[in-house]
Amino acid sequence: MSDQNPVFIPGPTNIPDRLRNAMHIQTRDHRAPDFVETFAPVLEDCKRVFGTETGQVITFPASGTGGWEASICNTLSAGDTVLVARYGMFSHRWIDLCQRHNLEVQVIDCEWGSGAPADLFEQALKADTEKTIKAVLVTHNETATGVKSDIAAVRRAMDAASHPAMLFVDCVSSLASMPFHMDDWGVDIAVSGSQKGFMLATGMAILGVSQKALAAMETATLPRTFFDFRDMMAANASGGFPYTPPLQLIYGMRESLKMLLEEGLDNVYARHFRLAEGVRKAVEAWGMKLCAQSPELYSDTVSAIYVPEGFDSNELTEHAFNAYGVSFGIGLGEMNGKAFRIGHLGSLTDVMVLSGLASIEMAMADLNYPIELGSGVRAAQEYYRATAAANQ
C-alpha cells in the first residue's frame, strides 16, 4: 500500500490524478493539424510562469540537465569564460557540465547553506576589464541545501559592473512554485523541468530564452544537434517538433498550466510559502537547524535539515521508507549523512505535509532522536490552523 503515500522528496513530485489522466492517452499523430491546438498554448502559457513577455519558450525531451546543456551549446563557444558560484550540489554539477564542454569556468566557492554571492559576482565582473566573461550562471533554488538565492540582486550586481555577460538561471526546483520574474530580473536563459512545480513525470526540459541569448547563437560554435534552438524554434513556428515529441508530457503540460492558472500564480506561491513555513515551525520544535543560514535564504520548495550530532541522516531516510513507506530526500554532497530533506512543492496540501511530518517524527523516535514525539506536528498544526482562514 506504500504507493498510496505521497513522496516528500524535492522532485519528482506527486502527480495529481487530473494530470495522470491527462497523460493517459493513446498514441496520436504529432504531425496532424490538431497537435498545433495542443502545443501552441503550452508555449504561450509557459511564458506567464517564467514571467516573460519578450522571451521565447523552448522545450526539449530531457530533464533539467538537458536544458542546461542546451543553454550552453546554443550560446557559447569552446574557450569562452563563464562565472559560477559553487554553494551546493547542483551549482557544482553545472560547473562540471561547463568544464566538459571546454569552457573556462571561473568558480567562486561559497559555504554550503549560503546563497549566490551578488557582491562577489560584482567584484569579479568589475575586474574583468576585457569583458571575457560571457555568462554568469546561478542556481535560483539550491535543492541540496534548501537555499533560495536573490536573482534580482545578481542582476543589480551585473548592472553595477556595467558588464555585458548573459545571466543564466537554474530554476528547476523553483519555477511554478516560487515567484520568478525573468524579464524584471534580466534573465537571459531560465532552465526548468516538468517534474517539480509542474507536477508531471520527468522528461521535459523547459527553457525561457531572451532575445539577447537568441542573438548569441549567431557566434556560438559549440556543437549541438538534438538540443539545437534553431531547429526546435523552426519546427515550433508551425506547431511541430523537429523529431518525435514527448506527446503524453505535452498533453500533461497543457493541463498542468491550466491547473496553475486556475489556482492563480500568486495563490500557488502563497500556498508553497505556507506549507514551507509549517515545516520550518516543525524543525524549530524539534530543536534542529536548517542548512540555509538565514531566513531570507529559506526555500519554499525544500527544507534541508541537519540531524543531531552522532546521528546518520541516511539511516533516518532509509528507516522512514522501510518502516513507513514514505520517501524523504537524502543529504547530497557535503550534506551526505548530515542532513535530510523534506520536499514541500507541487501537488501538496497542509494535511499531506502533516502526514509527512508525522512519519519522519515516528522514524526519528524509532532511532532515539532527542525529540518529543508529536512536537513538530503540533507546531505545524498550530501554524496551519492560525493561517487557515487566510488560505481560503
Q: CB within 8 A of 13, min separation 6: which ones?
A: 7, 195, 196, 197, 199, 343, 345, 346, 347, 348
* DSSP secondary structure code for residue 308 in this structure: P
- Residue 207 and residue 68 in contact, taking contact as beta carbons nearer than 8 Å: no
In this structure, which amino acid lies at residue 122? E
Instruction: Find out whether 341 is annotated in a ligand binding site.
Output: yes
In this structure, which amino acid lies at residue 57? V
What phi, psi does 241 have (nearest 5°)? -130, 150
Task: Tell me, letter by letter, the H, E, C secondary structure of 247-302.
Answer: HHHHHHHHHHHHHHHHHCHHHHHHHHHHHHHHHHHHHHHHCCEECCCCHHHECCCE
Q: How far apart are CA 118 and CA 139, in angstroms?
A: 12
**Closest by CA position to 346, among listed 338, 336, 356:** 356
Per-residue exposure over 72-92, b if at least 16 CB sit within 10 Å of its own CB, e if not: bbbbbeeebbbbbbbbbbbbb
In this structure, which amino acid lies at residue 148? K
Three-state SS at 203? coil
Our CA angle for 93, 99, 104, nearest 5°, is 125
* DSSP secondary structure code for residue 59 in this structure: E
Q: How far apart are CA 359 and CA 340, in angstroms?
A: 14
Three-state SS at 107? strand
Query: Grid coordinates representing 275?
Result: 506549507
- Residue 178 and residue 147 in contact, taking contact as beta carbons nearer than 8 Å: no
**Closest by CA position to 50, among listed 197, 157, 228:** 197
What residues are designated binding site for substrate? Answer: 341
What residues are designated binding site? Answer: 341
